[in-house]
């Protein structure tokens, strides 16, 4: 029980609590409810472990997929921002070539070299 309590205390309190305890896993395996109902099969414990591993794997795949989507959105936003900067720089060059002074129209915090 001390191992379970220590596992709970290590959690950040912001997310779901995950208990990691070898002793608890052993007790749960020994007291498997399916065994009490007569539908026990020796491989059921292994199947439960495989199911948990597959669930964790699927969760990781979902996280990777979301991270890729977020990265694609960020790349697209960056490309748009770069394109807008290039457009604005081209406008400034055009104004300079025409001899139009735009520094009077800009806020005082912006300096044009």
pLDDT digits (tens, 9 = 90+) for 9-18: 676 666 666 6
Cα angle 67, 71, 77; round to 5: 145
Please, are residues 102 and 92 in contact by the beta-carbon 8 Å criterion? yes
The string of pLDDT tens digits covering residues 64-80 is 999 999 999 999 999 99
| Predicted confidence band of residue 98 (pLDDT cuts 50, 70, 90) | confident
On average, the pLDDT of the chain sits at 77
Determine the Cα–Cα distance for residues 71 and 58; give it in Å rounded to an integer. Answer: 20
The widest CA-to-CA distance across the chain, in whole angstroms, is 92
Select from 23, 42, 22, 26 the least CA-distant residue to 34.
Answer: 42
């Amino acid at each position: 029980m001390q191992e379970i309590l220590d596992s709970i205390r290590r959690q950040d309190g912001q997310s779901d609590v995950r208990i990691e305890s070898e002793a608890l896993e052993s007790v749960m395996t020994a007291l498997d409810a399916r065994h009490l109902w007569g539908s026990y099969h020796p491989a059921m414990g292994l199947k439960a472990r495989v199911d948990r591993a597959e669930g964790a794997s699927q969760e990781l795949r979902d996280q990777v997929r979301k991270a890729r989507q977020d990265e694609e959105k960020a790349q697209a936003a960056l490309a748009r921002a770069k394109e807008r900067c290039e457009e604005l720089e081209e406008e400034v060059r055009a104004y300079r070539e025409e001899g139009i002074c735009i520094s009077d129209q800009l806020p005082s915090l912006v300096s044009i070299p």
